[in-house]
Structure 1
């Protein structure tokens, strides 16, 4: 097979080519929040919104979603109302909730903002948005909407990452542990360790990229769209995200002990040093499973697991998401 090379990004690929939008001082906010976060978090959110937005004369509507299956419908309604009233759609929650709300705004021209309420909050942290609810709410009053890149797999958007294989299993097990023991980073890391110790299958995949095809055997194919996350595990391709590209990572078929050692290497920020990891940047790839071309496969996008039909088409969305965030120099200083 021909080894993949990183393509030269076209000048039009970067979101920086799109204009920065200034939000009117009287624009209303339509805030979509997953009520599954809990009553205490909902009450806290209401109190801060009343104080920081209402107290400054800004109109807002908080739309709580009791059933996660309706999140997309509520988000689309919020986008329609925001467009009609010259407003901003805001997602409140973790990366999965933010992605569902952002999907409704993509391509609409409607500005999007976030109130991070999740465990890791990779999307908001990467863009320098404060993790504290008060600070992120105050930011809504002054921030401009900057174009940011998003990824797509078979029409399903992702802000942070998309994956198949072992990684979706890790996420499913993590949610089960969280329901039993509570939401925290310690629980998330513990559940990952337990999952890695169990037997897991390897996938045989064909990856088509710019006219060449490579066959690989791997436990998981991970596609990243978050510079902070890729930097944390030590991927040298992380800066290429800002050039209109995504990054694919696939460990070669290895045993359980080697998989754990690889995970520890990633936690130490040294994933690129591993000799059994394939990685490359791309604008678009097509992934198939020999002999199982049409069978659905389990996919995780920003922590939410679903099934999609093969083949899988990963690519950068042709239009950016317009995100309310700090000015570039402030955003860079806030990244953590």
Structure 2
């Protein structure tokens, strides 16, 4: 059942990642937490996970997937063990990986935000305090949503091509030296822009349009919250179960720095700084390149061009905070 939002809805009200199916309240007892293998190695992640497990009760369990195994193996084991709810504990990359494994399984999924930005959890209006988030999960409602995919690979917030995947690559090296902090992440943006040479030449196609552009960045969004966070247009496309495809404008370093400053100060403007396409299908190919680095919810992978963005045919069942909490937020 599709729900149409009134025109008075704000982007914050729309920040539900396309969650436009009827919500259902279901009590959970066997709540199994799936965590990144690196989680729990220090108090920053170990203590929040332990706090959440206490809230979830005696039947809660913790599963960590091994670095040399697929997360789907861990998720399947948890489901086979009788999980009534799988909780992805980590940042956006961990949540994305668990969501990929959960599609079509018929078991609900929730999010315990332990990452640097936690865009997905914040978009669903979960607290970044582990104890509070766990309590929200216990009182939450299940809802079926559609998620985005590129060549079959799932993403929840965004996927991108161009300068942003390069920023993530630079960020990894900076994180390794200085630790995972938001200010360190912002420095990786500046560092990457300083190395910028020229925009990509791309051919793209939607259900209604075919064109060729030169652009430093293509940003395919499925998170209204993230768009609003940066002052970008396109939030209504998310609630219509579409992508908001942002095609950035900028052909040199100076133009990119202006764009970055406008993003930070929330002064970006559609038409001047970027164009927006609202579509359910988006295919883009690179001129002169067979492979390119793509980013998905903070992770990255090198893939073959052209890239086909589609709504995944399987639904994801997620837990949202109950409605009265959202109205009070």
User: Do the two structures share a fold, i.e. TM-score over 0.5?
Assistant: yes
1:281 aligns to what? 278
Q: Return closer, same or farther for 1:34/1:86 CA change in 2, 3 Å cut-off.
A: closer
2:8 aligns to what? none
Residue 168 of structure 2: which of 162, 166, 171 is its match? 171
Residue 133 of structure 1: which of 130, 133, 137 is its match? 130
Q: Return closer, same or farther for 1:152/1:288 CA change in 2, 3 Å cut-off.
A: same
Aligned mates of 2:225, 2:49 — CA distance in 1: 30
- Matching of residue 183 in structure 1 with residue 185 in structure 2: no
Higher helix share: 1
- Matching of residue 304 in structure 1 with residue 299 in structure 2: yes
2:72 aligns to what? 73
2:31 aligns to what? 29
Secondary structure of the 2:138 match is coil
Mean Cα deviation higher: 69-78 or 227-236: 69-78
Aligned residues: 315
Q: Is the 8 A contact 1:232 1:267 kept in 2?
A: no
Secondary structure of the 1:108 match is coil
Distance apart, 1:190 and its partner CA:
1.3
Distance apart, 1:113 and its partner CA:
0.5
Structure 2 length-normalised TM:
0.88
- 1:1-336 alignment, distance < 5 Å: 18-26=21-29, 28-37=30-39, 38-54=41-57, 57=58, 59-67=59-67, 69-78=68-77, 80-81=79-80, 85=82, 87-273=84-270, 275-292=272-289, 295-331=290-326, 333-334=328-329
Aligned mates of 2:24, 2:200 — CA distance in 1: 43
Distance apart, 1:235 and its partner CA:
1.8
Which runs of 5 or more residues in structure 2 are unaligned? 5-16
Aligned mates of 1:43, 1:284 — CA distance in 2: 40
Distance apart, 1:240 and its partner CA:
2.1
Distance apart, 1:50 and its partner CA:
4.2
Q: Is the 8 A contact 1:151 1:317 kept in 2?
A: yes
Aligned mates of 2:45, 2:226 — CA distance in 1: 28
Structure 1 length-normalised TM:
0.86
Which runs of 5 or more residues in structure 1 are unaligned? 1-8
Aligned mates of 1:251, 1:326 — CA distance in 2: 34
Q: Is the 8 A contact 2:198 2:252 kept in 1?
A: no
